[in-house]
Amino acid sequence: MELESKIYVAGHRGLVGSAITTELEKLGYSNIIKRTHAELDLTDQAATRCFFEEEKPDYVFLAAASVGGIVANNTYRADFIYKNLMIQNNVIHESYKAGVKKLLFLGSTCIYPKMAPQPMPEDSLLTGELEYTNEPYAIAKIAGIKTCESYNLQYGTNFLSVMPTNLYGPNDNFDLEKSHVLPAMIRKMHLGKLLMEGRHDDLVADFQRFSKDDTVVDLAFAKAELQKHGITENHITLWGSGTPMREFLWSHDMASACIHVMNEVNFVDVSKGKKEVRNTHINIGTGVDVSIKNLAEIIQNIIGYKGSLIWDDSKPDGTPKKLTDVTKLHELGWKHEVELEEGVRMMYKTYIR
Ligand SMILES: NC(=O)C1=CN([C@@H]2O[C@H](COP(=O)(O)OP(=O)(O)OC[C@H]3O[C@@H](n4cnc5c(N)ncnc54)[C@H](OP(=O)(O)O)[C@@H]3O)[C@@H](O)[C@H]2O)C=CC1
Ligand SMILES: C[C@H]1O[C@H](OP(=O)(O)OP(=O)(O)OC[C@H]2O[C@@H](n3cnc4c(=O)[nH]c(N)nc43)[C@H](O)[C@@H]2O)[C@@H](O)[C@@H](O)C1=O
C-alpha cells in the first residue's frame, strides 16, 4: 500500500476495524474510507455495489461482520450465517468488479474441527466436525476463505484471508450476554467489586454507559441486571466448567498483523507449490493459551476483585482447546508483542477510563 492509496476499512468502529484504522493512521496512511453500518448496510447488494462503483478503493480490509461470544453464536444462529455470508459475498464480489488491488478477509479460528490437532495448522481445515455452538458462523467464515481462493484462481485477484484467534481490546463488546469471555469477565468482576463496595452511583453509571435505548437506568434497573447475570455482593457467575483452553490476542497486535499481511504477502506466496490450491489462509495468534479458570484468576488479580467465582455449567464450554499453529505467520515475518497480563491491564484501563 502507498501512503496515499485509497483504503476501505469495512467495520471501522468495531474492535478490529478501529484498531486497523488507528494503526494505519499512525503509519501515515491518509486516504482511509469509512462508512458506519447505518450509512452503508453491507448486506444490501445494491448499496454495496453503488459504494464500490463510486469509491473504487485500492485496498479493502473486511472487518465488518456479525460477531459475538459463545451464547450469541448459539442463539442467533440464523443471523450469524445469513448476515456474514451476505456481507462477505457483497464485499468480495464488488471488490473484484471494482478492480480492488488487494483485499484482506477476516475469518476466525472456529473454522477448524472441534477436535483438530493442537496447535491447529492451516491444513486442518475441513478435516472433521465443527463445534456445534458456532457452526453457522464457522461455515460462513469457511465460505469466505473459499470465495477469496476461488476469485483468485478464476479471476486473478489478490484476495487473502487471515484466521485470528480470540481478540480483545478497545471498542470491545461488553454486553453481559453477547460478548466474548475476556470483556465479559472484566465487566462482571468490576460490577461485582462496585456492588461489594456499595458504590451504587458508579453501578448505575456503568449500566447507563452501555444502555442503547430509552430504558430508564436507575439503581433498581442495575440491581435487576446484576441478579439476572448472577452478580451478587459475594460472588459473580461465570460460564461453563472453566476447563476450556483459549488463546488471546490484543486487537492492535491483530491490526499490525493485518497490515503486515496486506503489505508483504501475495496470493502467489501462499499458493505456490500447491497442486490443488486450498488452505491458503493464514492463522493469526500468539501460539500460547490459558484455561478459562486461569484467565479468570489473572483478571481477578488485576481488578482486585475479592468475591468468589461460581461456574454455571448450564452454559456451554464450546471447543475444548483451539490453539493456533502460527508457524506460517512467523515465517511471513510477524510476531505478536503484547502478552496476556499486559493486555488485560491495558484493557481494564480502557474500561474504567
Ligand atoms: N472479536 C473476536 O474475538 C474475533 C473477531 N474475529 C473477526 O474479526 C472481524 C471483526 O470483528 P470485531 O471487530 O470483533 O467485531 P465488532 O462487532 O466489534 O465490529 C463489527 C463491525 O462490523 C460492522 N457491521 C456489522 N454488520 C454490518 C453491516 N451489515 N453493514 C456494515 N457494517 C456492519 C459494525 O458497524 P457499526 O460499528 O457501524 O455498527 C462494526 O463496526 C470479524 O470478521 C470477526 O469475525 C475473528 C476472531 C475473533
Ligand atoms: C472468537 C470465538 O468466540 C466464540 O467462541 P468461544 O471462544 O467459545 O467464545 P467465548 O469467548 O464467548 O467463550 C470462551 C469460553 O469462556 C467461557 N466463559 C466463562 N464465562 C464467560 C462469560 O461470562 N462470557 C462468555 N462469553 N464466556 C464465558 C465460555 O463458556 C467458553 O468456554 C465463538 O463466537 C467463535 O465463533 C469464535 O470465533
CB 263 within 8 A of CB 24: no
Quick one: 34 exposed, middle or buried, by C-beta within 10 A (0-12, 13-18, 19+)? middle
Residue whose C-alpha is closest to residue 301's, from 341, 261, 331, 262: 341
Contact 114 CB / ligand 2 (< 6 Å): no
Q: Identify the pLDDT of residue 28.
A: 98
Among 8, 9, 12, 15, the mutation site with the greatest number of ligand 1 atoms within 8 A of its Cβ is: 15
Distance of alpha carbon 42 from its chain centroid, rounded? Answer: 18
Q: Dig out the grid coordinates for 144 from the structure.
A: 469466505
Q: In what order do the strands lie in the sheet with 7-10?
A: 32-33, 7-10, 59-62, 102-106, 159-164, 282-284
CA of 70 to the centre of ligand 1 (A): 15
Binding site, annotated residues for substrate: 188, 239, 246, 317
Catalytic residue among 112, 137, 151, 168: 137
59 classed as catalytic = no
What does the domain layout of the chain look like in residue ranges? 7-171+246-289+321-339, 181-243+292-312
Q: Whose CA is nearest to atom 34 of ligand 2?
A: 69
Q: Identify the pLDDT of residue 276.
A: 94
What value does the mean pLDDT take over residues 106-135?
A: 98
CA of 180 to the centre of ligand 2 (A): 5
ipTM of the complex: 0.98
7-171+246-289+321-339 to CATH, choices 3.40.190.10, 3.40.50.720, 3.40.50.970, 3.40.1160.10: 3.40.50.720
Coil, strand or helix: which one is 318? coil
CA of 200 to the centre of ligand 1 (A): 33
CA of 39 to the centre of ligand 2 (A): 30
Among 167, 187, 239, the mutation site with the greatest number of ligand 2 atoms within 8 A of its Cβ is: 239
Alpha-carbon distance values, 73 to 12, 101, 143 (Å): 22, 33, 17
pLDDT band of 214, cuts 50, 70, 90: confident
C-alpha span between 80 and 194 (Å, rounded): 34
Residue whose C-alpha is closest to residue 334's, from 324, 343, 344: 324
Binding-site residues, ligand 1, Cβ < 6 A? 11, 13-17, 36-37, 40-43, 63-67, 83, 87, 106, 108, 164, 166-167, 173, 180
Residues 6+ apart with CB under 8 A from 172: 15, 179, 180, 182, 183, 251, 347
- Residue 168: in which H helix or E strand, if any? strand 166-168
pTM of the complete model: 0.98
Contact 248 CB / ligand 2 (< 6 Å): no
Using the CB atoms, write b or e for 12-31: b if 16+ within 10 Å. bebbbbbbbbbbbeeeebeb
Q: Identify the pLDDT of residue 293.
A: 98
Q: Identify the pLDDT of residue 353.
A: 84
What value does the mean pLDDT take over residues 294-303?
A: 98
Cis ω before 136 (30° cut-off from 0): no
Q: Whose CA is nearest to atom 1 of ligand 2?
A: 166
Q: How many CA atoms lie within 13 A of 233 on its CB side?
A: 5
pLDDT digits (tens, 9 = 90+) for 154-180: 999 999 999 999 999 999 999 999 999
Helix and strand counts by DSSP (H, E) for the chain? 13, 12
Contact 244 CB / ligand 2 (< 6 Å): yes
Q: Which ligand is nearest to the CA of 83?
A: 1
CB 1 within 8 A of CB 58: yes
Coil, strand or helix: which one is 205? helix
pLDDT digits (tens, 9 = 90+) for 3-51: 999 999 999 999 999 999 999 999 999 999 999 999 999 999 999 999 9
CB 285 within 8 A of CB 325: no
Q: Whose CA is nearest to atom 28 of ligand 2?
A: 181
Binding site, annotated residues: 11-17, 106-109, 141, 164-167, 180, 188, 239, 246, 317
The 3-state DSSP composition of the chain as helix, strand, coil percent (nearest 5) reads 45, 15, 40
Question: Which CATH code is given to the segment(s) 181-243+292-312?
Answer: 3.90.25
What value does the mean pLDDT take over residues 288-298?
A: 98
Dihedral angle, C-alpha 153, 154, 157, 158, nearest 10 ° = -10
CA of 66 to the centre of ligand 1 (A): 6
Number of the ligand 2 atom closest to the C-alpha atom of 322: 7
